[in-house]
Homo-oligomer: A and B are copies of this chain.
Amino acid sequence: MKKLINDPDNVVREELEGVALAHSDLVKVVLEPFYVVRADAPVEGKVGIVSGGGSGHEPMHGGFVGMGMLDAACPGEVFTSPTPDQMFEATKAVNGGKGVLHIVKNYTGDVMNFEMAAELADGEGIEVEAVVIDDDVAVEDSLYTAGRRGVGATVLAEKICGAAAERGDDLAKVAEICRKVNDNAASMGMALTSCTVPSAGEPTFELGENEMEIGIGIHGEPGRKRMELKPADEITEMLLDPILEDLELSEGDEVLAFVNSMGGTPDIELYIIYRRLAQLLEEKGISITRNLIGAYITSLEMQGASITLLKLDDELTELWDAPVHTIAMRKGI
């Protein structure tokens, strides 16, 4: 295993210590139990937003804590759900009196633990709503999931809900917007290579020299199909088709197009995919009015990419454009 780490058991702790040293202007890092919280939390009179999940998907979620996005993020060990205790402590830390939204990717452990944290918070009189993100159209159930997995739409939901909370929306409204993002977004990913979880020490799966996997999950969970490597233009079409089918987009629709690196994919390749995606959507009369291109929800060093489309309306567009100031996303500040 080739990684720039010390002890595989201390990877997340040492990463968080690094984040604390680098970004104390933006966030406070708590190590017992692990969570990352806005430096100015709790923000009085604002709905708090907490997300979290296994580590290894950076910059998600810790890189999205700050003004206009998350109030706190709970990182588990790599590809391992955080504990209810982490989520409960983070929820208390961001409670500004208007309740707290939990944005939860649909993995069994995350969903269960966020439910327990919400019960604990309820016991202390903190109102919590949870929205489960399940935008991955690749497979219906999966290794760690009942129902569809939560992937790229999580990034978009965190940005958009963060803006809604910032403008003063109440908890019911922020949760409604979160559900709207989830309902109007769909994603699909693929991998050229596996990643290696530090504590495992070897690749999660093996792909042949000339093989790829379409519909892969962000933990290397099996996708739809292993097949021979194809040109980028064909791969783009293979990822886009199931998304279009799911969203039932029609001519004249406006979308946010998000091309995401799984971690180890160079920018050059992301733009080659974006190019074909833009051409294909234009042929169908669908306008990309906003885009996001880069490594935002990753699987450690995995090579591969995912596409997420979010159908936009005026409200979602305005919230997407609102200022944000986090480690990994910054606009208007």
Contact = CB atoms under 8 A, between A and B. Distances in A.
Contact of A4 (B19, B22, B63, B265): B265
A126 interface: no
How would you classify the secondary structure of chain A's contact residues: helix, strand, loop or mixed? mixed
B303 A272 contact: no
A14 interface: yes
A169 B269 CA distance: 37
Given A265-B301, A303-B301, A5 B58 contact: no
A209 B55 CA distance: 25
Interface stretch (A66-74, A173-181, A230-238): A230-238
Interface in A284-314: 291, 293, 295, 298, 300-301, 303-305
A11 B268 contact: yes
B272 A14 contact: yes
30 contacts: A2-B192, A3-B192, A4-B265, A5-B272, A6-B272, A11-B268, A14-B275, A15-B267, A15-B268, A18-B272, A18-B273, A18-B274, A21-B274, A21-B278, A22-B271, A22-B274, A22-B278, A22-B293, A55-B268, A56-B266, A58-B268, A63-B267, A78-B268, A264-B301, A264-B303, A265-B301, A266-B300, A301-B303, A330-B330, A331-B333
